[in-house]
Structure 1
Amino acid sequence: MVISTVILSNTLLYDEYMLMFSEFKGADNIPIIGDYFTVELQPVHLNWGTVSTTGSRHRHPDEAYIPVSVADALRLNLLNNGTLFNVSGQGFSVKVTGTQSNYPQYGKNLSSSHNLRLLGAYLKRSLNAQPGDTIRVEWISNMDVEISII
């Protein structure tokens, strides 16, 4: 099968993109075992908790997130709908948050659910993640992810 993409003003057309990948998704149209994405962590991703542009709330240094590109959000159907993905062996879950500008139903971050500090603590202390590290988020079941540094 030959896959071609249509790009208009740097925006991948949603219908074309979903058509290309529809045959690869599971029956529930959520990530399936073996799906993954990788991203290079920037200082802001690991230090989200120390930055407050509005000063509207007290932030904590362990607040962190993993960014999700629009291409990965579309490919993996990562909707900002509250679906929780358990982080393998860690006792907490992540969910897709934020919105992709041209596709508002899709999320742009993975953040820990119910406690924004859990993911940051895991990244910083368990994985010893640093800015510049590449993170891999892989689905090991339809509801469980493994987060690692590659």
Structure 2
Amino acid sequence: MPTTGQYFRTTLKQAHLEWGSHRHTNTRGIRYGEGYLQIPAPDAYNCEITNDKEPARSQVYNFSTSDGFITNGRLKASGNQAQEKYAKQFHGDGNLQLLGDWFYHIDAQIGDEIEIKFISPTDILLTKI
């Protein structure tokens, strides 16, 4: 589980900004406005960000954005790293457009950096750098 004060940064790519439409699979239809944040493997391991393969921990985190656009939101850690219990992304819990809405609000572009800071083991603050 993450500890208070831990943080990492992730660089946005087209797939993060256009998750529902920039796809290389036909597993579901196109959905505009979806977004996610990549969790690089070293950061997932270092911060111990796990997915549903680690049932002793919740993969849902409370979060806010430093600009105040989102307060008391919920992010879910999902996907698998090489060590399968560690997550590879954060996305809105039950709302895959949640981060997409924020990306639109902050005019996020490919190459922008997002800081993901744990203000407690279960609370995250997102900041566009």
Q: 2:115 aligns with which of 136, 140, 147?
A: 136
1:118 aligns with 98
1:67 aligns with 38
What SS does structure 1 have at the residue aligned with 2:120? coil
Query: Which sections of structure 1, spanning at least 5 residues, go unmatched?
Result: 1-29
Deviation at 1:129, TM superposition (A): 1.4
Could you tell me how far apart the structure 2 residues matched to 1:73 and 1:62 are? 25
Count of residue correspondences: 119
Query: Which sections of structure 2, spanning at least 5 residues, go unmatched?
Result: 53-57, 65-69
Contact conserved, 2:14 with 2:22, CA < 8 A, in 1?
A: no
Could you tell me how far apart the structure 2 residues matched to 1:141 and 1:124 are? 27
Could you tell me how far apart the structure 2 residues matched to 1:52 and 1:42 are? 13
Once the two structures are superposed, residues 65-106 of structure 1 have per-residue CA deviations (whole angstroms, 9 ceiling, x without a partner) of: 111111001000010125211112524211111101x20111
1:90 aligns with 71
What SS does structure 2 have at the residue aligned with 1:75? helix
2:23 aligns with 52
TM-score (structure 2 length as normaliser): 0.84
Could you tell me how far apart the structure 1 residues matched to 2:87 and 2:14 are? 20
Q: Which has the larger radius of gyration?
A: 1
TM-score (structure 1 length as normaliser): 0.73
Task: Point out the structure with the larger strand share.
Answer: 2
Could you tell me how far apart the structure 1 residues matched to 2:121 and 2:107 are? 27
What SS does structure 1 have at the residue aligned with 2:114? strand
Cα RMSD, aligned residues only? 1.4
